[in-house]
Amino acid sequence: MSTQLMTQDAAASTLVAYAFGGGMGASEGKGVMYSLISETPSVFAWWVALEDSDGPPIPVDRYLIEIDRRSRQVSPPKKVQIPETELAEAILAATGQRLASSARFTDGLLSISYKVTVQDDPDVAYVVQLRHFGQVASMDSLISWISINIDPRILPVPSVYPIPGERQRQEALGNGRQITRFIPGEMAFPIYPTLPHDQRLILVRKIALAFQACWQIPMPEPHVIGELIADEGEVGGFRIGPDRHHDLGGPFSSVREYLRAYLRYSFVTLEKQNGIDEYKEWFQTRIKGFIDQHLDDIPLVVEDIPIVAMHTDMGLHNIIISSETPTEIRAIIDWEFVASAPYASLHSMIENLFREQAPNQFGPEFDRADELRDAFWDSIPDWKRCNQSTATKEYLKWFRFGVFMKPEAPMDDNMSEEEKRAFWAENIRVVEGMLNKY
């Protein structure tokens, strides 16, 4: 038996092999979706699911699997769920109402969800989510602050119903339960690309105002970069902790130090990415040399970029729009990833509003995309002026180098080299541009 403790990468490989090997049932035609829940000196714990690659977007069962770091043994899968008795207790404690029914609901990457109805009011429904990443007490406090202080016509959020004692429970068990009011409507992600151009223009202007509303949330001084935490019970009691989204550390008092940490992280993700062997042959050694030698070349002017509050996952997949009026935003949801960071860090998410969805994460522009782009930034002119600053331009040059450093693996294993170059065109353009400059 090896005396070396298993690394996270090795454990992830073992986990995927276990899932594809039938440890969780038939895996043919399915993909493995997993996320690390906790790590101790002795055990890695994961949430794992087998998901149909081409199936409809329905909730799938997730399982807790532990891997012993010394013995390499994989534990039997244990289904992750909230029993109905626990749902009933949580609903009663948070809302004072009695459970009538519950059913699995749309899941997020880092949560499982239930839609519940109550006996006391048949017209009311709630969503109960079991989250392992987001700090539920902080999320509830932030959403409550937004609902009190920001016009709901600009930044609508679902009502939250904190469960008494949930912060202590999450600290003890590693996952937290969040209850929000169910918001009827449709996710914008599949609808937005089908809208006529004039309706896209209306919706994109509203989305711009929602972004601006986040960016205007008052932040503690001095402004530093990290995870935004809203302290339970303190309205507007915000503080900044280390970055947990990418595990960068911090908080960072310097934009340059943050960029250096982000670029090092990006290179590690490049090293780990599978299915991009040719790309690695072309660029990995050169990029490593750049990371080793040129991170001190980040210019001082980037320190002038505004650092703001942001929902770092405020894409179309977390925007609920009206089923009847698709230009009406009903709610911005899933406030799991909230940060204090340079506003231009959301460049790619905003840019996706002007592009078609694509496997390489950089699809072709919509017809009349420039009008969409202008509509977004003209709606928030102060930030449009920030885009023209040297600080933002320099920041984006370095930040986009990190974003595009690691390409997506092609879906088709039989792509020719020419087809792969086309698939990775923006990655190659951004990376070569930076490498050739230095």
Kind and range of the H or E run holding 277: helix 277-294
Residues across the chain: 438
**pLDDT score for 357:** 93
pLDDT 10s digits, 32-75 = 889 998 899 999 999 999 988 666 667 888 999 999 999 999 99
Q: How far apart are CA 33 and CA 112, in angstroms?
A: 13
Residue found by looking up tokens 């002795």 in the block: 42
Tens digits of residue pLDDT in 252-299: 999 999 999 999 999 999 999 989 999 999 999 999 999 999 999 999
Give the three-class secondary structure for 187.
Answer: strand
CA distances from 339 to 142, 309, 385, 432 (A): 12, 6, 22, 30
d(CA 152, CA 146): 8
Q: What pTM does this model have?
A: 0.94
What is the model's pLDDT at position 182?
A: 97
Place of tokens 């937290």: 176
In the block, tokens 């530093």 appear at 224
Nearest to 404 by CA among 307, 289, 276: 276
Give the containing element (helix H, strand E) for 282: helix 277-294
Output the DSSP codes for 215-258.
HTS--PSSP-BEEEEE-TT-TT-EEEE-B-SS--B--BS-HHHH
Neighbouring C-alpha atoms within 13 Å toward the C-beta of 57: 9
In this prediction, residue 53 carries a pLDDT of 65
Q: Which parts of the chain have pLDDT scores under 70?
A: 1-3, 53-57, 109, 232-236
Determine the pLDDT at residue 379.
Answer: 98
Contacts of 119 (CB under 8 A, 6+ apart): 97, 98, 99, 100
Closest by CA to 65, choosing from 37, 42, 41, is: 37
Q: What separation in angstroms does the CA of 365 have from each of 147, 199, 264, 319, 356? A: 34, 17, 30, 21, 6
